[in-house]
Structure 1
Amino acid sequence: MSNQYELIVIGLGPAGASLLYNAAKKGVKVLGIDKRREIGIPIQCGEFIPAYSELETLLPETPSEYLSIFKRVPRNIVLNKTRVVRLYTPYNSIYEVEFKGLVINRASFDKWLVSKAIEYGAEVYINSSVYKLDSDGGVYVKGFLNGVYKGDVVAIAAG
């Protein structure tokens, strides 16, 4: 394994895993690092994501190829589908907005995203912590993966 990468992604929740997937799909030599022993565990936040149609509306400048992974979320990960979002204020007002979304099993979703990136050639290491970054792209890692790795671009998606 070479220690030089075009992209190093630190943190493999939905944002980091999506970046990892899209880069690997384009043939970028990419390394993903996560400090957790198991992707998706513990769950870090909610289990709701916008439906693909909503993502297209929310992110109109984003090429559809970057959002396409969200069209293919496996059914076994989707727990429920939503049509509206209700917002309850501290003053007992309720606002209801039409907004399609998916309630997902977050741990399974994170694992699925990372597995898709691996299918396209991403290297992924868990149980590995970054303890230092250099201004020249050096990423110092300890844990299952040890050593210094160089990235042309380093993305921190650690929440």
Structure 2
Amino acid sequence: MRELKDSYDIVVVGAGPGGSCSAYEAALNGAKTLLVEKSQEIGEPVRCAEAIPGLEDFNIKPSDEFVRSKVKGGYIFTPSGKRIKVSSDKATGYVVERKIFDKYLAIRAAKAGSKIMVKSTVVGLERDGDEWVVEIEYLGEIYKVRSKIVIAADGVESNIAEYAGLKAKKNPLEVCSCAEFEMVNVKLIDSEMLEFYFGNEIAKGGYAWIFPKGDCANVGLGVRDRKKKAINYLYDFLENELVKDRLKDATPIELKVGGAPVSGPIEKTYTDGLLVVGDAAGQISPLTGGGIYLAMDCGLMAGRVASEAIKNNDWSEDFLKKYEEMWKKKHFNMLMDHLKYRKILEKLNDEEIEELADVLGDSLEDIDLKKFAKKIIKRPSLLKYFKEIVF
């Protein structure tokens, strides 16, 4: 490949939001950086519902180029159709066009100085002294490049961390299977509100959603059920009494499928000369399956620490552990809380979901734990699930 060099300071594997943000931050801080993406087009295939809070947190100005809808909150629906309005600062954000947004992030990394290889797959990773030899397959040819640090941002199926001896493989039972149609002619309740549907018949072990997306809407779900496929749950959801009148004229223009690891972060996200970011690291909410914001934020941290390591001529495990300390300080407690809540919710039957909705009321902002405890203590059927939280 004409522009491929023999060696780099940092090789980032995977040009999703986490990888591109890692490459951006590393290159911005002067590190010689290569970003490797296995797809022939960055942003493809799309595997998520495309919602993200707080672009401004990353000094990214929301643009009509990639923002399809602005979000001011959401509605949660029980199996019977009871509706709870969610309105808090944490519920605001955007629905983006991932095909464009991911490419925007990669372009930003390139403008900062990172080189990019597309349709390129890392097929091997070997230690040679205190550096890595990275084997990259491109158009049938194998290229070998040396790198002081590798950042593994290669998604839920991550192989890179495993190559380096870290335990990153996800338990299939802890991966939420997702299926989604992008549809036109969807009758939305509110073009600035997300919709979430819960129930064991609707989406066992997960939830269904309708997200506004400009002239379209993302209609999908995530489930943890090995007896019935996500796509079959989706077909059934389209005919559910709660939504079928609003979807009767809707037609799909795209089908998206994928998996979201919802077991929480992996045990360790660093070793000598290597960091793990995003879905590969389990940096995704076990409760909502949302991971774009986390991947971007942790990616920036990884790029920053990696570039500091290069400047200090020290990419040992002892130095790189700064990365894990940084992201855990900011996000770990939230991830573990979300894991706890997910495990509670998946135990509830539909009647208990309805009862929980009665406790929460018609509107939900930030939950006042003391008020919640006073209400839940009067509901013995629910208290057994929430003891750990309220006491």
3-state SS, counterpart of residue 154 of structure 1:
strand
Partner of 1:152 in structure 2?
A: 148
- Bigger radius of gyration among the two: 2
- Which residues of structure 2 form unaligned runs of 5+? 156-391
Does 2:24 match 1:35? Answer: no
Q: Trace 1:120-131 onto structure 2 (pairs within 5 A).
A: 120-131=112-123
Alignment TM-score, normalising by the size of structure 2? 0.35
Structure with greater strand percent: 1
Which sections of structure 1, spanning at least 5 residues, go unmatched? 56-66
2:143 equivalent to 1:143? no
* Aligned counterparts, 1:106-117, within 5 A: 106-117=98-109
In 1, Cα distance between the equivalents of 2:13 and 2:147? 11
The answer for the alignment partner of 1:9 in structure 2 is 12
1:132 matched residue in structure 2 = 124
Relative to its length, the structure with more helix (as a share) is: 2
- CA shift digits 1:93-150 (9 cap, x unpaired): 6462422211101000011111111112110000111111113412111114741112
Q: Work out the CA distance in 1 between the residues paired with 2:135 and 2:77.
A: 45
Bigger RCO of structures 1 and 2 (CA < 8 A, at least 6 apart):
1
TM-score, reference length from structure 1:
0.80
Percent same amino acid at aligned positions?
A: 29
Give the 3 Å change call, closer, same or farther, for CA 91–19 of structure 1 in structure 2. farther
What amino acid does structure 2 have at the position aligned with 1:122?
A: S
State how far apart, in whole Å, the 2-side matches of 1:22 and 1:92 are.
Answer: 45
Counterpart for residue 74 of structure 1: 63
- The match for 1:96 is 86
Distance 2:85 2:8 in 1: 47
Q: How much is the aligned-residue C-alpha RMSD, in angstroms?
A: 2.1
Q: Do 2:55 and 2:61's aligned partners in 1 also have CA atoms closer than 8 Å?
A: no
8 A Cα contact 1:9 1:154, kept in partner:
yes
Relative to 1, partners in 2 of residues 1:47 and 1:149: Cα closer, same or farther, differing over 3 Å? same
Instruction: Report the Cα distance in structure 2 between the residues aligned to 1:22 and 1:75, rounded to whole angstroms.
Output: 24
Distance 1:97 1:133 in 2: 46
Q: 2:73 aligns with which of 65, 70, 84?
A: 84
Equivalences, count: 145
Mapped pair 1:44 → 2:84: no
- For the residues of structure 1 that align with 2:85 and 2:10, how far apart are their CA atoms? 42
Contact 1:88/1:95 (<8 A) preserved? no
